[in-house]
Structure 1
Amino acid sequence: MEQIPTGQDIGRRDLFENPTAAFRPSAYWFWHSIPAEDVCHAQLADFKQKGIGTILIQARLAMSRDDYLSPAYLDAYRVAAGIAGKLGLKLGIYDDYNWISGHAGGRTVVDRDDLRERHLFWSSSGGARGEISGIHPPFTRTMGPDIVAWQYEGSIVEWCEWTVEAALLHPSVGIDSLDQVVDVTARTSIIESDGISCTHAFDGVPAEGQVLTVFVSARSRTSRLINYLLPEAAERFIEVGLDPLIEALGALVPDPVGFVFYDQPAAGFYKWSQISGDLGNSLLYAPTLPDAVSRGTGETFARALMALVRGVGPETLRLRAQFYAAYSALMNEAFSGTLRRWAEGRGIVLTGHEILPHVSSWSLNGGFTSIDPRVALAVDFFGIDAYRHETAVDSNNFVAQLAPKLGDSVARSNGRSRCVVETYASAERTPVRAAGQWELTLETMRAQAIRLHCLGSRQFLWHGVYQTDGRDDDPTPFSNPRFDFGPGINFEPWWSYHDLFAEETARISAFIEGATPRTPVAILYPLHTAFAEGPRHSHATHIGAWCKGLLAEGCDFMFVSEADLATATIENGRLRASGLVFDAVVLPSVTVLETTKTLHTLAVFKAAGGAVWSSGERLSTVCDGAAGRAVGPSIHLEGMPGKDDITALLQSLRSSGPDLACHSAGRPWQWVGYEDAGWWRVVLFNDGASHLISEISFGDGFACEVWSATTGDVGKATAFSHLTVALAPQEVQCIRLSKTTQKTTVRGHLEHQPLLAAPRAISLVDGWSFAPDPDAGFVPISVVAGWETQGFAGFSGTGIYRLALEIGDEAEWVLELPEVHTVVAALLDGRQIDRRGWRPYRFALGRLLPGVHSLELRVANTAANRYYINTPYLGDTADKSGLSAAPKLIQLAN
């Protein structure tokens, strides 16, 4: 990935005016077939023109697996990379076919059955015999037959090499201690098996009141997914999946091809008929796992396994936490460690993202609720990130969510900052998630990008731009590219406006880069609680409540790990960790900690005047043996934190930097950070539909610069005592300020909208004509209802509205369009005035002479009405298109 400027370079205004690729939107480029050279030229030039800075080529399900990594594929890849380099685009290697890194389109396991995923299953019975049967991957099957066919040879889920790994006799209810658990592994064996089930038997008879629990491993015979506990699987993946790309690219590595991006490495999430207990899925097994677990827990592998599914007395939470810690560490090193060493040997950067169970949610496990993330690379985010050179996360749909904040946190913990945020759309109008959101508007995506930047994103990664828009009248998900997690934004009618979005959001990101965020609150990431208690425990929802509550009150925060606290320093009652300064630490329903070092740091911080708050369940277990109640918080909330609780916490914090007060019903999104030289940076964004007003004050006075993200201009510094910032819907302001040495009484007002003379507003209701094409015949149309209601229900594209505009008085005029679906260019007398991709849709027409002028509005809608027609995804009504409220002509005040 592009090197991020540091030191004085960050503060340079030219970086803001002309952001580099590190800050510009990036995109997956979906290849549905091997493209010809002319296609590569045309599409890459188009991407460059629309403001994209980085491209990652991704082979999708519509492409034959036989074509993936074939000589023709590698030739096309090299050609595309060469073209990208000449255009000034950066390129990254998306490391696999479709997604789920490690399988290399199935090549990793060809002639290497030993590398296919092997899992542990278990069953409990009161007799000597038991079985494992009905194994199925529910998460995969819900995505449809094409996904099953991709992941499993012949679309069949079969198993082999059934092996008893542990067998234990124990009371049927109420295990009080491990002393009641008897290891009978040596007396238990597999007596029958086939591709879908096995029967195991114990050579004795359980006593009355006893139960036999048997853990059996089996290797998949048909899965193309790998065993992530085996470093040799990662090595083979590199040999057959990554090295061929690197060798084909030759001198194009490391520039423009500078990084490799992995995506959700994870084995199957299997359930079966006999599953029971605390763990919700099977877990991977490798011969190295028992020793790793024994070292990590100080217990035998068999008895540690027992603790995963049943309570075994006072040691239960400790054993679970330490088991999953050992399991995750083994997986991190085997897969991520192998990839990192390879990337460094090739001189490129390793990045990518794991499964994020919180995707689209604030709750730590509010996204993928059907899986138990402890079996995958999906809980120890700080540990996973330590193997990356750059942090990346996943986000779903266009709402604020946890991913970028947690991504920024783990990056700072590992000596970096901020992250790449991959954003994909899953359908909301239909159960078929892959049908995507072709109804997506540029305003929606812009608002999301700005929110993500305020939450910790450096770069917005699109999922994605498409090679083809697929086939009509075919609703099949995935195999029809049209419904492979649409939209392919370059096939949206508003695509030609994407450069407006790209330039503005890149400047906002570059503006934020120049400062360290003000984060008075640290939230402890409760790793060992998550390991021990599982994804349905209250720590997950308490994290969501704290995040939403703090942001609602305009308070930023960051997550810290126990390791961060262990190395933190405390100065003047403030805690310094991960390069940030905190006044308070929050423990969200933390029941298990790893080490007494955490307790010691919290005790010292509290004694120095710092605030330690907790909510929900109380601490009960510290894995290295300390008493759980050794340190009490400053405040403990039995329930979820509410608005009054958040307010009380914030009132106890010290004030630093500028004060931002909100004088309207809603609160804008804000980001506040400080430079080394004493200047502060503020981003304010109104993502709502009503005007918002904020007031900035800073000591006895401050110098203020306004940096325009739209134009790249930087205003002259002006001194104020207070600055009122009025934000129209969808308006953003970037402000840089510093305390002045002299007191001032000047009050400033920042507002982009001109003063309008309301009595001189003229509603332009009548006289409009319309055509879906400039060469088509124009017909009369109403501008108070969209074109989809007036005979153009299936039209997606740029519709043209025309009006003979009669001006009576010579004056300065402004055109205001109250409702546009979804982007518009205004032309007056054949000359384009400007383009707008989001609210406010306002155009300064200039000084107009009396007479008749030709007004033309070119409005582009979304692709939904075109692409969803004749499919189950259309819905009951067509999406709004064009104008749906009368334009207004407004005379400026003298």
Structure 2
Amino acid sequence: MPGFGKDDRRSHLFADPPAEFRPAAYWFWHTLPADDEIETQLRDFRNQGYGTILIQARLAMPRELYLSEAFLERYRKAVEVMQKLGLVAGLYDDYNWTSGQAGGRTVSGAPHLSERHLFWATTSSSGGEISGIEAPFATGMGPDIASWIYDGGRPVFGEWELLAAVYHGPGFSQIEDVSASIRIVPGEGGCRFEILGEIDADRQITVFVSARCLTSRLINYLLPEAGARFVEVGLEPYARRLGHLMPETLQFLFYDQPGPQFYTWNQKSGNLGNSLLYAPSLRRKVEEATGLVFGQALLNLLYDLGPETAAVRVNFYATYSRLMNEAFFGPVKAFCERHGLRMTGHEILPHVGGYALNGGFSSVDPRVVPGVDFFGIDAFRDETAVDANNYVPQLSPKLGDSVARAHGRARTMVEIYATATRTEGRGAGQWELTPATLRAQSIRMHMAGARQVIMHALYQTSGSDGDPRLFVNPRFDFAPGLNFEPWWDHHRGIADETARLSAFLEDFRPETPVGVFYPLATALAEGPRHLHGPHFGAWCEALAKLPCGHMILDEQSIADGEVRDDMLVANGLCFSALVLPGASRIASSAVMVKLAEFVSAGGRLWISGVDPKSLRGEPLGCGVRFSDPPGLATLAELVSHLPDTAPKILAGSAVSSTVGRDSEGFWKVVIFNDGGTDEAVRVTLGAGFVFETWDVETGTPEPQRAARLLDIALAPHDLLCLRMRSGEGTGEEVQLRSTLEDHDAMITLSTCWTFRTVDEEPACPIFVTTGWQAQGYASYSGIGLYECSFDLPDACEAVLDLPGVSVAVEVRLDDSIVGRRARPPFRIDLGRLDAGPHRLALLVANTAANRFYADTPYAGEPWPDESGLTAAPRLFLLPTADMKETA
């Protein structure tokens, strides 16, 4: 079994991971930086462990500066400095976000390229109107976001055009086109339509009209010429200025949530939640795909007209999505190929921040944007990327990894951004973010499928006091700016540790006994409020909590898969069970056949919510049905009966794990204690095995050992990586401990502490059982220096235990740095200490919340945040023979 020899490529990657595994970050530009600012900040980012930087112009920067000659010259200078420092650059492709607008340049001088939308109204009278058009998703984020999207800060529509009018009787019988009988009368804020003739009492007319948003800077993503112009005015200027840096330093392009706005209006009705984009090509392509005239196809989107409605909707939205993808992603992909750049980025993810497919942006209908067919969009990318919101477990990395594997790749980029959770104003973010929270989330993301985590963000400036405006004041533009956190100097340890975890998982094929079906046809036919959304989320969340290895499969992956014995082999993975979560429709007959074959061969098929049917209505007719997704106990029982030759991990619910094989056939196991207490973990593999531990904190190996089983005591937030193989001797029961048991020889350091801020003299007495925020420093964010002296009667080994630290600490003993810690348990091995007096100094960093939220509407509860020491430090005095391993 390979060890950690100096020529072992794996160990080199693990010890010093390259940029692809290291954290990446958006570097928010609020003004044009000077040379010294570029040099100083980029060097700082590199020194704190970042490998990749993407410059992003934000709302605080005047829009007219974006892509100006001055902007491009500063951009060139910054990337040249990145080249000198060994950093990788990514091209973030727009101003703020919503790729395609180029800060308004795409539609400037070409207004016909701005977003044109399709609206409708159903009436039984002789006329009607489209009125009260709103963009709640945009305007709900505040006036400055609205002004970023709209000239004048609000949507104004004009150039109204009748698309179709459909006359229908009771139950949508007797449908006929009556477009020739409709007259459009444009008006302020909308339009009226008049019906020439009488309407029978029991009949209605649905009128479809389109209009261009005259004030929008967003493009019509159905128009190939809009995508081409975006490349011309928004991307080629970078290539002209930075071509000498492509692709060696500037290596990839990253797009961010391309899509139109989500409009609603007073007369909106039916299954579709927002307006659609419209272009003449849509009419032609939809009529070809559905075999219906345009008006009748549109009517099927709104109302259930019978057995053919599901097929019409699926064909319509598939056509609509394909036109958007080809019109926008196609030109962007061609630009990347011309300049040797990898193409990546993410579309809008309506599940962001959770597991339910439509639980993140619950007010929108993702069918109107690139936001449903994730597998189809990924075909344009060279590297998969997804979005994640806040620091909680969620679906995104697992879905990203699944999408990548469907296209012959593996793993994904994950962008993490923070929105406010304890106060109003989502852009106010989380200045209260702790390094322990950041580290835990990065570990979760890597274990779920992330290769690289993109932090949102590093800031050029921390903003200004007395200005509570969201987004315009950089301080409240999706905070925190990590480099302005008092604990920033602790970031390098987090970056190194999580990069090593990512490198460890690179050569890794996960064990996936369960496959979860991605119900695309159901999402298109039923819409985002259907039960498939929460059912899909419930299954994925439960499988993650067990934890049970799983991956997500689209229809093509299943159709192309091979049934071997009682397993489905798809995308290079083996599945013993498949889940159909709330899937009312399956589009491909090949999938129906393959599922039946899988069940006949002994595979398990679990169905929740509804009985799946084809688009024509034929039932699937096999599988075990659950009315609701099973709870954890039931699901644990189900998966316990699946064939499994992988290492067995027995642990409490707070422990997460992932298991897979590397290219040489060895098992890799990652175990993380995601809880707040010590956890006991047992690992077994057959009758015996040999194993290596890969220490992510130090990047150095532990000796290879043989074992019959491993009993592991994991302290809170501890992470363990194992590489193992069975059949190499029975070995013995091996105990690995990272916890420190209480010991009789203990000194509690509860009194005689002094405190001062790093820029304050003199020091003053302070209690260490409550934070400094309650002792006269409510709005202080920074480093607090605690000092005390103690005497040891005898020489001994000593471990410092800090039961309460908010949020990171550097420990100095007798003027020498002996350790640093930015996550629980806060324990530092002090080594062997001589008898006599010693001087202990603790430099504690809190978060920026108390400083930056003071006297703002965003302080929320609790405020002020706990800071500094909150429990008395303890010294464990241990004879050398009794010394335990410490985390």
TM-score bucket of the superposed structures, by smaller chain? over 0.9
Asked if 1:697 corresponds to 2:684, the answer is yes
- Find the partner of 2:621 among 631, 643, 651: 631
Aligned counterparts of 1:320 and 1:571: Cα–Cα separation in 2? 35
Do the aligned partners of 2:689 and 2:731 also contact (CA within 8 Å) in 1? no
- Find the partner of 2:62 among 61, 64, 69: 64
Aligned counterparts of 1:645 and 1:459: Cα–Cα separation in 2? 34
- Find the partner of 1:706 among 681, 693, 711: 693
Aligned counterparts of 2:500 and 2:732: Cα–Cα separation in 1? 29
SS of 2:437 mapped into structure 1: helix
What are the residue-to-residue correspondences of 1:634-783 with 2, within 5 Å?
A: 635-662=624-651, 664=652, 666-742=653-729, 744-753=730-739, 756=741, 758-773=743-758, 776-783=761-768
Q: Which segments of 5 or more consecutive residues in structure 2 lack a partner in the other structure?
A: 1-5, 882-887
Deviations for 1:254-290, whole angstroms, at most 9, x for unmatched residues? 1100111000001010001111111110010011001
- Opposite residue 169 of structure 1, the aligned amino acid is Y
Aligned counterparts of 1:189 and 1:674: Cα–Cα separation in 2? 67
Aligned counterparts of 2:580 and 2:846: Cα–Cα separation in 1? 47
Partner of 2:884: none
Aligned counterparts of 1:288 and 1:589: Cα–Cα separation in 2? 33
Gap change, CA 1:689 and 1:667, over 3 Å in 2: closer
Asked if 1:246 corresponds to 2:239, the answer is yes
SS of 1:97 mapped into structure 2: coil
Say which is worse superposed, 498-507 or 325-334, in terms of deviation: 325-334
Do the aligned partners of 2:654 and 2:674 also contact (CA within 8 Å) in 1? no
SS of 1:120 mapped into structure 2: strand
Deviations for 1:822-864, whole angstroms, at most 9, x for unmatched residues? 0000000100001111111111111111211110000000000
Say which is worse superposed, 499-508 or 598-607, in terms of deviation: 598-607
SS of 1:66 mapped into structure 2: helix
Asked if 1:617 corresponds to 2:610, the answer is yes
- Find the partner of 2:864 among 873, 878, 892: 878
Q: Give the aligned CA root-mean-square deviation in angstroms.
A: 1.4
Do the aligned partners of 1:357 and 1:368 also contact (CA within 8 Å) in 2? yes
What are the residue-to-residue correspondences of 1:512-527 with 2, within 5 Å?
A: 512-527=505-520
Partner of 2:417: 424
Gap change, CA 1:469 and 1:112, over 3 Å in 2: same
- Opposite residue 182 of structure 2, the aligned amino acid is T
Partner of 2:20: 22
SS of 1:108 mapped into structure 2: coil
Do the aligned partners of 1:11 and 1:514 also contact (CA within 8 Å) in 2? no
Shift of 1:572: 2.0
Aligned counterparts of 2:819 and 2:640: Cα–Cα separation in 1? 46
Do the aligned partners of 1:813 and 1:845 also contact (CA within 8 Å) in 2? yes
Aligned counterparts of 1:554 and 1:484: Cα–Cα separation in 2? 35
Do the aligned partners of 2:678 and 2:739 also contact (CA within 8 Å) in 1? no
- Opposite residue 635 of structure 2, the aligned amino acid is I
Aligned counterparts of 1:416 and 1:378: Cα–Cα separation in 2? 21
Do the aligned partners of 2:782 and 2:845 also contact (CA within 8 Å) in 1? yes
Shift of 1:189: 2.6
SS of 1:684 mapped into structure 2: strand
TM-score (norm 1): 0.96
What are the residue-to-residue correspondences of 1:119-268 with 2, within 5 Å?
A: 119-171=117-169, 173-175=170-172, 180-190=174-184, 192-268=185-261
SS of 1:92 mapped into structure 2: strand
Shift of 1:656: 2.0
Deviations for 1:606-630, whole angstroms, at most 9, x for unmatched residues? 111111110001113x23x3x5314
- Opposite residue 182 of structure 1, the aligned amino acid is E
What are the residue-to-residue correspondences of 1:543-622 with 2, within 5 Å?
A: 543-620=536-613, 622=614
- Find the partner of 1:493 among 471, 486, 493: 486
Aligned counterparts of 2:368 and 2:381: Cα–Cα separation in 1? 20
Do the aligned partners of 1:602 and 1:631 also contact (CA within 8 Å) in 2? no
Aligned counterparts of 2:131 and 2:860: Cα–Cα separation in 1? 40
Deviations for 1:333-369, whole angstroms, at most 9, x for unmatched residues? 1111221122111111110000000000110111000
Aligned counterparts of 1:271 and 1:710: Cα–Cα separation in 2? 51
Do the aligned partners of 1:159 and 1:194 also contact (CA within 8 Å) in 2? no
Aligned counterparts of 2:527 and 2:133: Cα–Cα separation in 1? 22
Do the aligned partners of 1:599 and 1:631 also contact (CA within 8 Å) in 2? no
- Find the partner of 1:483 among 476, 479, 492: 476
Say which is worse superposed, 56-65 or 127-136, in terms of deviation: 127-136
Asked if 1:844 corresponds to 2:829, the answer is yes
Aligned counterparts of 1:337 and 1:609: Cα–Cα separation in 2? 43
Say which is worse superposed, 161-170 or 543-552, in terms of deviation: 543-552
What are the residue-to-residue correspondences of 1:393-412 with 2, within 5 Å?
A: 393-412=386-405
Percent pairwise identity: 48
Do the aligned partners of 2:612 and 2:620 also contact (CA within 8 Å) in 1? no
Do the aligned partners of 2:690 and 2:728 also contact (CA within 8 Å) in 1? no
Asked if 1:814 corresponds to 2:808, the answer is no
Shift of 1:294: 1.7
Do the aligned partners of 2:680 and 2:711 also contact (CA within 8 Å) in 1? yes
SS of 2:106 mapped into structure 1: helix
Shift of 1:667: 3.9
Aligned counterparts of 1:98 and 1:10: Cα–Cα separation in 2? 43
Aligned counterparts of 2:435 and 2:325: Cα–Cα separation in 1? 38
Do the aligned partners of 2:427 and 2:476 also contact (CA within 8 Å) in 1? yes
Partner of 2:3: none
Aligned counterparts of 1:335 and 1:99: Cα–Cα separation in 2? 15
SS of 2:94 mapped into structure 1: strand
Partner of 1:5: none
- Find the partner of 1:798 among 783, 790, 800: 783
Shift of 1:651: 2.6
Partner of 1:84: 82
Q: Which segments of 5 or more consecutive residues in structure 1 lack a partner in the other structure?
A: 1-7
Shift of 1:9: 10
Do the aligned partners of 1:116 and 1:225 also contact (CA within 8 Å) in 2? yes
SS of 2:487 mapped into structure 1: helix
Aligned counterparts of 2:638 and 2:325: Cα–Cα separation in 1? 37
Gap change, CA 1:769 and 1:352, over 3 Å in 2: same
Do the aligned partners of 1:116 and 1:223 also contact (CA within 8 Å) in 2? yes
Do the aligned partners of 2:442 and 2:498 also contact (CA within 8 Å) in 1? yes
Gap change, CA 1:757 and 1:433, over 3 Å in 2: closer
Do the aligned partners of 1:520 and 1:653 also contact (CA within 8 Å) in 2? yes
- Opposite residue 137 of structure 2, the aligned amino acid is F
- Find the partner of 2:45 among 37, 47, 52: 47
- Opposite residue 680 of structure 2, the aligned amino acid is I
SS of 2:743 mapped into structure 1: strand
Aligned counterparts of 2:667 and 2:99: Cα–Cα separation in 1? 41
Aligned counterparts of 2:563 and 2:612: Cα–Cα separation in 1? 23
- Opposite residue 799 of structure 1, the aligned amino acid is G
Shift of 1:475: 1.0
Aligned counterparts of 2:663 and 2:78: Cα–Cα separation in 1? 42
Shift of 1:87: 0.2
Say which is worse superposed, 403-412 or 571-580, in terms of deviation: 571-580
Do the aligned partners of 1:162 and 1:198 also contact (CA within 8 Å) in 2? yes
Aligned counterparts of 1:757 and 1:426: Cα–Cα separation in 2? 40
Do the aligned partners of 1:412 and 1:418 also contact (CA within 8 Å) in 2? yes
Deviations for 1:494-532, whole angstroms, at most 9, x for unmatched residues? 001100000000000110112100111001100000001
Deviations for 1:548-573, whole angstroms, at most 9, x for unmatched residues? 22122220211001001111111122
Do the aligned partners of 1:757 and 1:892 also contact (CA within 8 Å) in 2? no
- Opposite residue 174 of structure 1, the aligned amino acid is G
SS of 1:153 mapped into structure 2: coil
- Opposite residue 376 of structure 1, the aligned amino acid is V
SS of 1:258 mapped into structure 2: strand
SS of 1:759 mapped into structure 2: coil
